[in-house]
Amino acid sequence: MSQPTAQGFRASFVRMLVFSTTNLPLGALGLAMAIYVQPHIAQDLGVGLVAIGTAFFSVRMIDTFVDVFLAAAIDRTRSPLGRYRLWMIIGCPLLMLGIYQLFMAKPGIDVAYLVVWLLVMNLGLSIIGISRFAWSAKLVTHYDHRSLFFGVMGLVGVIGAVIVLSMPVVVKGPLPTSIHLMGWTILAALPAGILLTAWLVPEQVAVDTRTTQSKRAAIGDYVDLLRRPELLRLVAMTFCTTLGPGWMSNLYIFFFTAARGFTTGQASFLLIFYVLAGALGAPLVGYTATKFSKHRTLIAATIFYSLGLCTVLLAPKGNVLLGIPVMIWCGYWGNGFDLMTSAMMADVGDHVRLDQGKERMGLLFSLISVAAKLASAGAVIIAYPLLAWIGFVPKLGAHNAASAIDGLQISFIAGPIFFVALGGLCCVGWKLDARRHAAIRTELEARDELLARAAV
């Protein structure tokens, strides 16, 4: 049960865990697409690096507009199934169809094929993602408990990523075999998680203080959102802290196999430690945020992650044992980026509802979703053509000149560090801390109670 306090709602660990089951297939999907599917498309399906970058970038540009309209529709929804529950169920078959077409694709596909099925997959992912984040922000509203809640969700997502990472190590076959197994695993877990959440987790829909609103007033509210410094900071922060690790993910297999002398299986084995450290880091970073505040924790995470990434080149080539500590360090801190950003945006959503009298949680999360998608697209459209420009050949067994390998190593390190550090700077001077949020929740709870009594 969610229990109200003077500063917002808490939720039991069991309820948080049930709600987080959806994060398992989504965590698996995110890592599989970034680490394995994109290199698989280049190496095994024969699509060029520039073509892949163009396809992913084009889809992300379209997503930029789709997410905002989806969020506006989700925030206005009233149905017997609730607001967010309904949309998560709608998004499930779309996401499953896109996953099937991309993970089971055969050689000979072209850019048009990629664009079509990436659009379908990302539409389903947007619907589920916006609904899930907005629902989570309403399920737990207490400042510190919210950090722990997002930590639990991060932990479950990391478990999904570990499952995906284990497949190339266990299967020990060609990459396409592992890709297909990843796809079927995600396709089985996704509907199970969504149905479990829809069945067992209650949804609390906030009452709007303004039941009617003119078009002019609505536009004014949206303009007000774009003027809020805390919102602009979070959007910029999300872009930077997604672009940095996304850049690294896109180059990971190329970097560790071509530049560092590991096999694909060894690279996947190392990545398991990165992700497992994130599993430990998610709840611990969330707990740290309850002691030192969310924004300070995020600043620390960006600093420690960047310092750890600098040491990747210090480990001897092909030495798995010496590579493990570096991966653990970077994985522990890197998992805190999305966790803290989401928790901070939930706090901003409470502030917006207090000021505007209407629920904007879906719209707010769509904005950081757009920022994350633009960053993911930027990682592909910059990193892959950059590799082509320096003369790197991604095909298995291809000979790469020393200059191409050096360029690959510089690209792998410099890009992520620059953008992650920039994301940390966005947190400097953050004002919406625990004390300010507690005051906001006190006002919201009092107003909601008056509205509930008036409705009786």
The CA–CA distances, whole Å, from 159 to 33, 298, 299 equal 16, 22, 25
Look at residue 222 and tell me if it is in a domain: no
Predicted confidence band at 218 (pLDDT cuts at 50, 70, 90)? low
In a domain, 2, yes or no: no
Judge whether 313 lies within some domain. yes
pLDDT at 294 > cutoff 60: yes
CATH assignment of the domain containing 182: 1.20.1250.20
Fill in the DSSP letter of residue 179: H
pLDDT of residue 5: 45
Alpha carbon distance 397, 72 (integer Å): 49
The verdict on residue 398 lying in a domain is yes
State the Cα–Cα distance between residues 456 and 447, nearest whole angstrom.
Answer: 15
Specify the residue for token string 């009233």: 78
Q: What percent of the chain has pLDDT over 90?
A: 23
Encoded tokens for 86: 């309904």
Q: Tell me the residue range of the domain where 341 lies.
A: 11-200+240-455
pTM exceeds 0.85, yes or no: no
Q: Which residue, among 313, 323, 328, has the nearest Cα to 266 in the 3D structure?
A: 323
Lookup: tokens for 372? 């994350």
**pLDDT tens column, 219-234:** 666 677 878 889 999 9
Q: How confident is the model at residue 153 (pLDDT cuts 50, 70, 90)?
A: confident
Q: Is residue 230 part of a domain?
A: no
Residue 136 lies in a domain: yes
In whole angstroms, give the CA distance from residue 292 to residue 286: 10
- With tokens 């694709």, the residue in question is 105
With respect to residue 229, please indicate whether it lies within any of the assigned structural domains.
no
Instruction: Residue count of the chain, please give it.
Output: 456
Task: Categorize the per-residue pLDDT at 213 as very low, low, confident or very high, splitting at 50, 70 and 90.
Answer: low
pLDDT band at 102 (very low <50, low <70, confident <90, very high): very high
CA distance 137 to 353: 12
- Cα 160 to chain centroid distance, Å, stands at 13
Compute the average pLDDT of residues 356-366.
82
pLDDT of residue 397: 64
226, part of any domain: no
Minimum mean pLDDT among 5-9, 102-106, 238-242, 352-356: which range?
5-9
Is the distance from CB of 271 to CB of 249 less than 8 angstroms?
no
pLDDT (0 to 100) of residue 208 = 58
DSSP class per residue in 106-169: -TT--HHHHHHHHHHHHHHHHHHHHHHHHHHHHH---HHHHHHHHHHHHHHHHHHHHHHHHHHH
Number of separate domains in the chain: 1
* Cα–Cα distance for residue pair 359/375, rounded to 1 Å: 27
Rounded to a whole number of angstroms, the distance between the first and last alpha carbons of the chain is 23
